[in-house]
């Protein structure tokens, strides 16, 4: 039996009468589509596996010293410890204890540099994700009129020397919005955007691929359904070509 014939029932796949090159092209496209669909799933499970191992290994060595070795117990103990630390961080007495601990840590030369750097990065990420520091989304003309940069307004003040209202704007970079520029612009040269902070963030992270949908815009047309060729017709066409 010919592998690429029309009568070959490979999972219901109907191959067009275009020769073995066209059939291999179809299989190649299906393979690439499967790889593209599998990559996010594989990466997600890989990251979750790393996170589980890191969290589990925090408490697992201490539990093994007490001859307690149960799968997942180290992970559960670490999560409970983190929750307890979270309650301490939101409690007045716990805050004072953490502040005292930080003062002790910051007195150690090398440890102070590492601790302060990591804490600053965590605070920046937390502030960016919360969006509480961002007031609105604006456009700034750069590098020429008509070209716009997307930015987030973080503050506004009056410069007495210039006699102008100034606005501080964060210009994030794509696709990593954790880095960027902080510029101070005259209030009259800033254009307010109709985008929400969430929409602007998605636009930046996706490098422009995930754009906000225009109101009233028709939905994108779906793929045209391919009607399978009946086996009798395919067999007749194949015999006619052989003649």
- Domain around 55: 1-105
Residue 42 has pLDDT above 90, yes or no: yes
Widest CA span of the chain, in angstroms? Answer: 92
Residue 219 counted as domain residue = no
Residues 19 and 95 in one domain: yes
14 and 85 together in one domain: yes
- Give the CATH number of the domain where residue 193 resides: 2.30.30
Q: Are residue 78 and residue 5 in the same domain, yes or no?
A: yes
**Shared domain check, 72 and 145:** no
Whether 171 and 108 have beta carbons less than 8 Å apart is answered as: no
Residue 215 inside a domain? The answer is no
Report CA-CA distances (Å) from 189 to 68, 160, 165, 194, 224.
65, 18, 10, 16, 47
Report pLDDT digits (tens) over 65-96.
888 778 888 888 888 888 888 888 788 888 88
Q: Is residue 164 one of the residues assigned to a domain?
A: yes
User: What is the side-by-side strand order in the sheet with 136-141?
Assistant: 180-186, 164-172, 148-159, 136-141, 190-192
Whether the pLDDT of residue 144 is over 50: the answer is yes
This prediction's pTM: 0.46
225: in domain: no
The model's pLDDT over 118-129, given as tens digits with 9 standing for 90+, comes to 887 777 666 655
Q: Which of 123-127, 163-167, 172-176, 216-220 has the highest mean pLDDT?
A: 163-167
DSSP β-ladder status, 180-186 and 148-159: unpaired
> What is the spatial distance between Cα 243 and Cα 236, in angstroms, rounded to a whole number?
11
């Amino acid at each position: 039996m010919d592998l690429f014939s029309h009568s070959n029932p490979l999972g219901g796949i109907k191959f067009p009468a275009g020769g073995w090159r066209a059939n291999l092209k179809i299989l190649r496209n299906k393979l690439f589509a499967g790889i593209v669909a599998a990559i996010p799933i594989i990466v997600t499970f890989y990251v979750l596996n790393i996170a589980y191992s890191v969290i589990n290994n925090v408490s697992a060595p201490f539990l093994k010293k007490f001859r307690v070795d149960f799968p997942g117990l180290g992970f559960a103990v670490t999560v409970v410890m983190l929750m307890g630390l979270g309650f301490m961080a939101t409690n007045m007495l716990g805050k004072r204890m953490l502040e005292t601990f930080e003062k002790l840590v910051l007195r150690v030369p090398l440890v102070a540099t590492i601790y302060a750097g990591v804490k600053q990065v965590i605070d920046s990420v937390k502030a960016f994700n919360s969006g509480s520091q961002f007031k609105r989304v604006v456009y700034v003309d750069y590098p020429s009129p008509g070209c716009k940069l997307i930015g987030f307004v973080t503050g506004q003040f009056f410069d007495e020397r210039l006699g102008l209202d100034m606005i501080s704007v964060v210009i994030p970079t794509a696709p990593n919005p954790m880095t960027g520029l902080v510029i101070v612009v005259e209030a009259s040269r800033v254009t307010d955007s109709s985008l929400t902070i969430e929409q602007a963030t998605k636009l930046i992270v996706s490098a422009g691929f995930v754009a906000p949908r225009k109101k009233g815009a028709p939905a994108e047309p779906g793929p045209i359904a391919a009607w399978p060729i009946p086996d009798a017709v395919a067999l007749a066409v194949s015999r006619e070509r052989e003649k």
